[in-house]
Structure 1
Amino acid sequence: MNFSELFVLIIEPSRVQRTIIINHLKSFGITHIDEYDEGQSALTAIRLQTPDIVLSSMHLPDMTGTDVINIMRQDTSLADITFLLVSSETHYRYLEPIRQSGAIAILPKPFTRKDLGVALQSTLHYLIDIDTPDDSKPEDFENIRILLVDDSSVSRKYLHQTLTNIGIHEITEAKDGAEALETLKQQTFDLIISDYNMPNIDGREMVEYIRAHGQQPTIPVMMVTSEQNKNQLAAIQNAGVSALCAKPLSYDIMKKVIEQLVLNDDI
């Protein structure tokens, strides 16, 4: 599979912005492009012919990009389609649901061709791994045991699917740090992938407990968070995380970080 085989559906109310995006896509050899100026007609089209990528603006005439991805994630026939937001929006209340719902990237307006290329390449690898039979995937991933910790069921589902695409199937889920610590008393894992902001026991507190009192004090912990506060991020680092990654997390970065933390491969 290559760029020329990708089918991209664009949702953008501005004709000028749609033209800019289309020209960028064509520069990568992508010609199978559908364009819509509002959300509902785009969702109808998506159900009729499934695109590889939905590339949407945030503010649409009839809904927001957040509404679009939420509807997609709640529909089993659309839930696994990759979603890319292109927006000048910076407000937390708009962007946080996008981050939690598993967007493959959030690009600013204006974005560079290079930034778009990185997102497209990551999507391509995601789609290739979906279509690759497990017996053709690297055996190194086959026996990796992962504890996935996130209070968002939507985020857990997306991350679980991403790990499955990589070739990892021994995945145990926990909805917060407290449940994760109880699970760690019963089972051993090769890697913990955790959110930071969670009820009861958050990601930082969980890592601090594991490092000081856990039965696996040296287990690698990959923290995936949308936290923006620099002081909070510094505290997470000091707690002893092995890798701190920002949401949205691209497929390629997740795969490379897992290789580095578990398989000791260089990034």
Structure 2
Amino acid sequence: MHSVNISDLSILLIEPSKTQLKVIVKHLNEQGVSRIDGVATGEAALEKLTRHQCDLVISSLYLPDMMATELVDRVKNTEAFKEIPFMLISSETRFAVLDEIRQAGVVAILPKPFDRADLKRALRATIDFIDPREMELEHYDVESIRVLVVDDSNLARKHITRVLSNMGIRQIHQAADGKEALQIFEQAQQSFDLIVTDYNMPEMDGRELIQAIRDELHNAYIPILMVTSEQNEARLSNIQRAGVSAICDKPFEPQTVKEMLYRVLEEG
């Protein structure tokens, strides 16, 4: 059981439209959230955070003074704020626009308008993030599991690393792209129990990394979890054929990752 409930959350909500702000506050109230500070701009949000830290930041994508992508970047790169989960609510659907904020490690992206189930699931993902429960495995000591995290986004690596750490995994190594990951893996492949990789990366992408591990290094047994914002079905099919163990969307819910890890480690 979590020690934190949805009703315990303190939320900073950034929404330029007063009408939309009222609608979102109403939905949050229906979920039991009562501590909500609403502001209209990114700068107002940053100023509010310096005076009172919250448990969750929820923002619209298009703000009067900046995009939410800039806001999440400034939040994640400020030492005092970097651990605060960030959620996006937007009617934007273009992959190229949303992908940058997905890569920044947001806990959820909700459409506008969203339904009650979407919001409740996103709030539960937030609880999993700020009040984690360690993963229990029958055949592994969680603290002894060695993981290689591969992503060209530093923010995404930090987010994935934190999620894994929250599950009790302590031995986590990082690589900025597939080429660097392959070098690390070649040097100590017997030492890793799991690889968590992005798909779209420079030098060597996730599919090429998987193929190199499976075909060139002849390692068919190490579990490889791909965490990606890729939506192209043909590309995803190629990833499956390359030998990935499981694919998880960005942004991901910690519980979903935990279930996938349990499956690939315990049942694989």
TM-score (norm 1): 0.92
> Counterpart of 1:160 in structure 2: which amino acid?
T
> Counterpart of 2:153 in structure 1: which amino acid?
S
Deviation at 1:171, TM superposition (A): 0.5
Residue number among 16, 26, 48 corresponding to 2:51 in the alignment: 48
What residue is the counterpart of 2:146 in the other structure?
Answer: 145
What residue is the counterpart of 1:262 in the other structure?
Answer: 265
**1:16 aligns to 2:27 (yes or no):** no
Task: After superposition, give the CA deviation of every residue in 1:155-176 in whole Å (9 maximum; x if it has no partner).
Answer: 1111111111111110011111
Deviation at 1:58, TM superposition (A): 0.4
**1:3 aligns to 2:17 (yes or no):** no
What residue is the counterpart of 1:164 in the other structure?
Answer: 165
Residue number among 104, 107, 116 corresponding to 2:107 in the alignment: 104
Task: After superposition, give the CA deviation of every residue in 1:38-75 in whole Å (9 maximum; x if it has no partner).
Answer: 11111110121111110000011111111110111111
TM-score (norm 2): 0.92
SS in 1 for 2:238: helix
The aligned length equals 260
Counterpart CA distance in 2 for 1:243 and 1:11 is: 35
Deviation at 1:203, TM superposition (A): 0.6
Counterpart CA distance in 2 for 1:258 and 1:104 is: 18
SS in 2 for 1:172: strand
Divergent runs of 4+, >6 A: none
> Counterpart of 1:6 in structure 2: which amino acid?
L
Residue number among 60, 65, 90 corresponding to 1:62 in the alignment: 65
What residue is the counterpart of 1:74 in the other structure?
Answer: 77
Cα separation, partners in 2 of 1:92 and 1:15, compared to 1, 3 Å:
same
Q: How do 1:212-227 residues align onto structure 2 when only pairs under 5 Å count?
A: 212-214=215-217, 216-227=219-230
> Is the 2:145–2:193 Cα contact (8 Å) retained in structure 1?
yes
Task: After superposition, give the CA deviation of every residue in 1:231-267 in whole Å (9 maximum; x if it has no partner).
Answer: 11111111111111111112221222112211339xx
What residue is the counterpart of 1:242 in the other structure?
Answer: 245
Residue number among 203, 208, 211 corresponding to 1:208 in the alignment: 211
**1:252 aligns to 2:255 (yes or no):** yes
Q: Which runs of 5+ in 1 are unaligned?
A: none
> Is the 2:199–2:227 Cα contact (8 Å) retained in structure 1?
yes
What residue is the counterpart of 1:194 in the other structure?
Answer: 197
Counterpart CA distance in 2 for 1:17 and 1:233 is: 36
> Is the 1:204–1:239 Cα contact (8 Å) retained in structure 2?
yes
Deviation at 1:215, TM superposition (A): 5.3
Counterpart CA distance in 2 for 1:249 and 1:108 is: 15
Counterpart CA distance in 1 for 2:14 and 2:248 is: 28
Q: What RMSD in Å do the two structures reach over aligned CA positions?
A: 1.6
Counterpart CA distance in 2 for 1:244 and 1:258 is: 11
SS in 1 for 2:262: helix
Deviation at 1:186, TM superposition (A): 2.1
**1:91 aligns to 2:79 (yes or no):** no
Q: Which runs of 5+ in 2 are unaligned?
A: none
> Is the 1:66–1:94 Cα contact (8 Å) retained in structure 2?
no
Q: How do 1:166-181 residues align onto structure 2 when only pairs under 5 Å count?
A: 166-181=167-182
Give % identity: 43
